[in-house]
Chains A and B, each alone.
Chain A
């Protein structure tokens, strides 16, 4: 007989309504949809356009889809293999110029996360943080969020940065389209309280490039490793944090052991030192003296590139009180720079640096740096500092003085930690003071450019930056000390946190955790797993994972790559873009009914913000929606800017085995891979155009067209030595430093759930130098009490002669979710005055033996079913609360 017409219509209607709100019709009794796929279930959901592209292959019973690795800022190209409809294997793309087919242990295993039983699959809500969470529908979630946001707007006030009561905190792991649309939404709502975790990670590198080049991001790329003769690694444990880049350096070293020199500059001997010819160990925070001393040698011995310096460099200093803008300062002569360097003799620096630094070593390294093609790489060792911008400048200075930039085999390459801090946050406008396409909030011209593209009224974007991360979270904790530290601080009552866990990753976090536990701040968290941040949420929104949604990641070397949807998301998990488009419509409707004309005015603006995407969000939030957002961002917002990606359409991105490096102003340029070398006439389309159209630059080989550098030159900065904010003293005689290991990614919400990785590092250690350990009577494995002025932790001791910190220093990995081992209770939140990035790398601590070695339990945050709903195990366990 078959299904009748009436039944067919009823069923179709039900299916359509369900797909609009994303309800899985197979919902279990308690309202939570099953995560694990049933035996025959086919999880492959690959868009047709992808299937027709080179990013898709069918080999036997495996369907392969090409995308980017979910983890670090290297940007390895991967193929996800679905066997019998289930994600089963990941392999590298051999034609990628980034990873050549290789993967690290994290990249090869993340297919295990797709249907992990802990995946969040349904929106969860609770009015008070003392109650359990209850599952609710997406409709209800957006309704509540809009109400709470309007309530928080009213509780706050309207200031030069817009609404003071609401905020957004995003992530360098969110897709470019997501960060772009989120910041667009919040600026259309009317606030510049838009921040992201790259503030904790890359802000100093951004500040460094903005001051040295007048524009963000490096001039070269990974290809320079191959033609280099010297690799200068400073403040980076490349072996564990960018393993595939390290592999490339290793390969070059092994192929040419005598000609290729690797120098590792780190107070700690790490796995990176294994292939280092010279390891420079200096007291933490003294590297500014060291780098100035190297410059001193280079100048004194006449080893600088005279042509490059005289033609393409100028010298700058910032004097507080004398200069209006720290990013511009004022110009000085080369002679003045030489006089400035006089006091930084190798002897002076060696005295300050201690460790194994000798004047001869400084001279040797400086000479090698100057007389060979050198690539420098660095990450958090230089960025997570109160003088992060300065020390970034000092490394770049060495490259500018020696002409080690703008040519093959030479570059000052800041390695980005997260996969999309560059593409999404730095380029997409995800910080409180910047706007997408390398624009800034403070510039009225930039604001109006965007307002025009967005079709919103002039004046939509508030004119002043919002609060940076530490200030933003202090506006939530709002203690007396916070108010004293930031005079005029206005409290925040609503925050939307996306794809990051600040209540584990913020420095000195005790007061933040206490603040978030209060019921006067409404917390929305979007994530794929429960974390130490979802434990403070009022509303948890389940997000689609990587490969379950579509979007672009832009890695360290300005390379944007696309990861298409391939896998069905579990339960009701949806892409963030879909959340934004739907939430905005609900919010717009409510704003329209408000009495305050300021709020009512925002209704049409908020609607207009997402209007171009409403159709796509309804029809296909998994592929088409991302594509439309990307077209607006890349095609309209970056067009004509120095981060031009208008040539990098989804079609081109699917074609290329390794994405597109900007500037890529045309499809033709994008198809060839974009621009490897910035600023060089003939290689960089923007520099080439300037040379052709401006007669005064006709014979220039490189043109620094950074918008901050009106003289079109690279700037060498005069930066004096300044030590860390909290050096060790009599009461706290050790330096506490923190960092990562290869197995675990950040707060381990993902890697802690992959058995291979969690098994290798089930919990965090404190690394202690063997001499210190002996003196204090600490044996390997003993529990050690690590204490700072701010907090204390108890961690097992790791004592090794192969790796570890220098004497007087301890090193702790920060991925552990177990409360007594979460080291950010101890770290310091002093920040760089320019970049606002906190000094995670250096603070003062003391250590002593706490208990003998004993078995420990690893801990990971999970949701448990309780009477009335769900609570985190962290909330139920008195030891973890």
Chain B
């Protein structure tokens, strides 16, 4: 128990070198590095460990466009369970900027459900998932 607390504390201290306070990924990086091949990519593990989240992402526009976990959540050494809003700004700068001006303090996923990120105003009322136009692949 004490060892666990100490290691958690140590992890937090170590992780605190990031822009925002980084989180500790439940499975430490050095353990993942030593797994056999094909188990080091986020999605391979998370298909089993967080199947709901995985499915939400896998059928989103992000997944089809190859926006992957680490682009928002960071690496295992610099991991954020809830990504800092800066990570969205690489592609969605204008939208984030507008949101920060009009609704300061809000985050994208306060309205757009995280991982799915359906949206309005593009002419698509209900987001069609990849499955809908190519059921054979799924």
Contacts and interface: CB of A to CB of B under 8 A. Distances in A.
Interface stretch (B1-9, B49-57, B70-78, B106-114): B70-78
B115 interface: no
A33 interface: no
Interface in B108-138: 122-124, 127-128, 130, 132-134, 137
A568 to B, nearest CB: 23
Interface stretch (A161-169, A392-400, A851-859): A851-859
Contacts of A94: 93-94
Given A781-B39, A855-B33, A91 B90 contact: yes
Given A89-B89, A798-B38, 4 more contacts: A91-B89, A103-B91, A759-B75, A853-B36
A257 B36 contact: no
B48 interface: no
B94 A255 contact: no
Contact of B90 (A90, A243, A277): A90
Given A756-B70, A759-B76, A855 B94 contact: no
B120 to A, nearest CB: 14
Interface of B: 33-42, 61, 64-68, 70-71, 74-78, 86, 89-94, 122-124, 127-128, 130, 132-134, 137
Nearest to A247: B65
Contacts of A275: 64, 130, 133-134
A606 interface: no
A102 interface: yes
Nearest to B96: A91
Interface in A193-241: 239-240
A239 B91 CA distance: 17
A796 B37 contact: yes
Interface stretch (A433-441, A621-629, A760-768): A760-768
A250 B64 contact: yes
A799 B35 CA distance: 17
Interface residues of A, number: 47
Contacts of B89: 89, 91
A600 B126 CA distance: 75
A756 B40 CA distance: 12
22 contacts: A92-B90, A92-B91, A94-B94, A101-B91, A103-B90, A104-B66, A108-B71, A239-B65, A243-B65, A246-B66, A250-B61, A254-B128, A274-B137, A755-B75, A755-B77, A756-B71, A759-B40, A759-B70, A781-B36, A796-B37, A853-B36, A855-B36
Nearest to B41: A760
Interface in A96-144: 101-105, 107-108
Contacts of B40: 759, 762
Nearest to A244: B65
Nearest to B122: A255
Nearest to B71: A105
Contacts of A271: 66
Contact of B38 (A239, A247, A274, A780): A780
B65 A255 contact: no
A253 interface: yes
B133 A91 contact: no
Most chain A CB atoms below 10 A, which of B67, B90, B122, B124? B90
Contacts of B127: 254
A105 B128 CA distance: 24
A742 interface: yes
A277 B66 contact: no
Contact of A102 (B70, B91, B124): B91
A854 B133 CA distance: 39
Contact of B37 (A89, A108, A247, A765): A765
Most chain B CB atoms below 10 A, which of A251, A760, A761? A760
B31 to A, nearest CB: 10
- For the complex of A and B, 6 pairs with smallest distance between CB atoms: A853-B36, A796-B37, A108-B90, A781-B37, A91-B93, A781-B36
A89 B86 contact: yes
A760 B70 contact: yes
A273 interface: yes
Interface string A250-273: 110111010000000000000101
Nearest to A91: B93
Contact of B75 (A101, A251, A756): A756
Nearest to B86: A89
Contacts of B94: 94, 101
Contacts of A614: none
A91 B36 contact: no
Contacts of A251: 122
Nearest to A257: B133
Contact of B123 (A91, A255, A760): A255
A415 B122 CA distance: 27
A212 B138 CA distance: 40
Nearest to A858: B33
Contacts of A611: none
Contacts of B38: 765, 780-781, 796, 798, 853
Interface in A310-339: none
A276 interface: yes
Nearest to A855: B34
Interface string A724-765: 000000000000000000100000000000011001111101
Contacts of A246: 65-66
Contacts of B61: 250, 254
B58 to A, nearest CB: 10
A243 B65 CA distance: 7
B133 A240 contact: no
A143 B46 CA distance: 57
Interface in A479-500: none
Contacts of A853: 36-38
Contacts of B34: 855
A101 B77 CA distance: 28
